[in-house]
Amino acid sequence: MSIDKLFASFDRYLPLDEPEKADLKERAIERKIKRRQIILTEDEVCRHYTFVAAGCFKVFQVDNKGVEHNLQFAAENDWIMIIDSFYAEKKSKVNIEAIEPSVIFQLSRPDLIYFFRTYPKFDRNFRVIVETRFAELENRLLQIVSSTAEERYLTFLQQYPALSQRLPNTQIASYLGITPEFLSKIRKELSQKTGYS
């Protein structure tokens, strides 16, 4: 059952008790999302924290030349949100799109504030979730300015081990900031050196 995955996502931090689970089940909105369906567009305010129960999403921006740049992925058991847009209630600068058919649970801003005020455990859990996501984005920024394409790819494999076989080369290459052809070359060289693919 999908809701059990949502409950289990908190077990890494502070597990929920039965009343907390019942309240969360009542307020979390379950949605089935089609492949390529967008759940947030640029110039729209991010109004939900989204938990991915099944499937995969990308956060991306399109530049002035129409080129898409993947900034982040979220697959099963990940939370995805655009923090600046969500808390400041201002327009997002990025889009969130499903790469695969997906099942998500969403918590609205009023419901999240309700959980923070009613159950201190939620405040702690979500603080850790947001801090973890922030640390990932900090590391990604450092990699962009100081790592080679091969190093970025190896980090991608560590961060998203299940996605390397699920995502097309074009999506991974966009995330790494290289062409799909160059990614193929990196994969080939790594395979020859280490057995990576």
Query: Is residue 103 within 8 Å of residue 54, measured between CB atoms?
Result: yes
pLDDT of residue 194: 72
Identify the pLDDT of residue 197: 55
In a domain, 21, yes or no: yes
pLDDT of residue 1: 64
Q: Which residues of the chain have pLDDT under 70?
A: 1, 195-197
In a domain, 176, yes or no: no
- pLDDT score for 140: 87
Is 174 contained in some domain? no
pLDDT at 4: 94
Tokens of 79: 């939370």
Residue that has been written with the tokens 């603080």 in this structure: 127
Q: What is the pLDDT of residues 55-90, one digit of tens each?
A: 999 999 999 998 899 999 999 999 999 999 999 999
d(CA 179, CA 45): 31
Q: Which domain holds residue 30?
A: 2-119
Residue 80 sits in a domain whose CATH number is 2.60.120.10
The residue length of the chain stands at: 197
**Which neighbouring-strand residues pair with 109?**
none
The count of domains in the chain is 1
Q: In this predicted structure, what is the pLDDT of residue 193? A: 80
Q: Is 124 contained in some domain? A: no
Name every residue whose Cβ is closer than 8 Å to that of residue 73 and which is 6 or more positions away in sequence: 56, 57, 58, 59, 99, 160, 163, 167, 175
Q: Which residues pair with 2 in a beta bridge?
A: none
